Amino acid sequence: MHKVMVTGCLGQIGSELVAQLRAQNGVDSVIATDIRRPDHNETVESGPFEVLDVTDYDRMLKIATDYQVDTLIHLAALLSAVAEERPQFAWQLNMTGLVNALEVARELDLKFFTPSSIGAFGPSTPKDNTPQDTIQRPTTMYGVTKVSGELLCDYYHTKYEVDTRGVRFPGLISYKTLPGGGTTDYAVDIYYEALRKGHYESFIKEGTYMDMMYMPDAIGAIIKLMNADPERLIHRNAFNITAMSFEPEQIKAAIQKELPDFEMTYAVDPARQAIADSWPNQIDASCAKAEWDFEPQYDLEAMTKDMLAQLKTRI
């Protein structure tokens, strides 16, 4: 990856990925794009930035051509809870944007990455130790777009030999970027509220296990996969990856080790709870470990210590 274009750069993943890539490869090596240009934003001001609506193919192709990029990382998408509120728009944005990005990659012979999600699984998927290759029948529009995206990326690799790569992200936890409408967002909100109020009201019920990952591990996974030897990649797209699986009482206990007076209550959101119930408890990441040496660095305890320490300087 010598010159990278990133769509959806202002989202939770994009803002941190752009910063990391610019730090590693140089400021001008990463062309950040998003549908808006906010004022006083580090991602916008720290290097090349272009306004891009990913449903506009011609604009996407022009930016990639003008900057002579060799890699396209496509992150622009509507997340699970927001997508369920606007399913038709979610399909339009998630799928049209992806097809356009894949076409640009095909046209310019670019290396390509886009993330899938644990949302690509559904109620009929095995809940525990969920295999890499298994039943995928999601019951949300977000999940439908993610399964469709996985298949499209496989198709573009098989049909057109596009170097497509991707992972199924679990819930992502970050101290740098606020949540963006995902079902796993409670695991981000809880740290902010622990410091601000000493109390959190969870919209996910006790005993609901979901896979999670601290953002530094997620960014590291993208970069490692994109630099991996293609000859080792059997699956290429939608690798299961995870760092930890926990339920709300466990994250509460981890926070209480650092903040003993912290308390948590429940006000379950039926819509987001239904989404969470359709997802696995814990997935099997053995293929990612075998094919490109995926290995997360943070567990729940280490993440909690770092999250609280970092947020104390920001709140």
Per the model's pLDDT, the better-predicted residue between 184 and 298 turns out to be: 298
Q: Which fold has domain 4-170+215-240?
A: Rossmann fold (3.40.50)
Q: Could you give phi then psi for residue 177, rounded to 5 degrees? A: -125, 135
Q: pLDDT tens across 8-29, in order?
A: 999 889 999 999 999 999 999 9
Query: DSSP letters of 32-83?
Result: EEES---TT-HHHHSS-EEE--TT-HHHHHHHHHHTT-SEEEE-----HHHH
pLDDT at 180: 64
Q: Give 294's contacts (C-beta < 8 A, 6+ positions apart).
A: 221, 224, 225, 239, 241, 285, 288
What is the H or E stretch that residue 131 is in? none
For the chain, residues classed under CATH 3.90.25 are 171-212+243-282+298-312
Class assignment of domain 171-212+243-282+298-312? Answer: alpha beta
Per the model's pLDDT, the better-predicted residue between 271 and 108 turns out to be: 108
CB atoms within 10 A of CB 308: 19
Q: Could you give phi then psi for residue 76, rounded to 5 degrees? A: -65, 120
Q: pLDDT tens across 153-166, in order?
A: 999 999 999 999 99
pLDDT at 177: 75
| Contact in structure between 272 and 204 (CB atoms under 8 Å) | yes
- Catalytic site residues? 142
C-alpha–C-alpha distance, residues 175 and 177, integer Å: 6
Query: What is the pLDDT averaged over residues 183-187?
Result: 86
pLDDT at 181: 64
C-alpha–C-alpha distance, residues 206 and 141, integer Å: 25
Q: pLDDT tens across 25-74, in order?
A: 999 999 999 999 999 999 999 999 999 999 999 999 999 999 999 999 99
For the chain, residues classed under CATH 3.40.50.720 are 4-170+215-240
Query: What is the pLDDT averaged over residues 94-123?
Result: 97
C-alpha–C-alpha distance, residues 16 and 22, integer Å: 10
C-alpha–C-alpha distance, residues 288 and 167, integer Å: 9
pLDDT at 82: 87
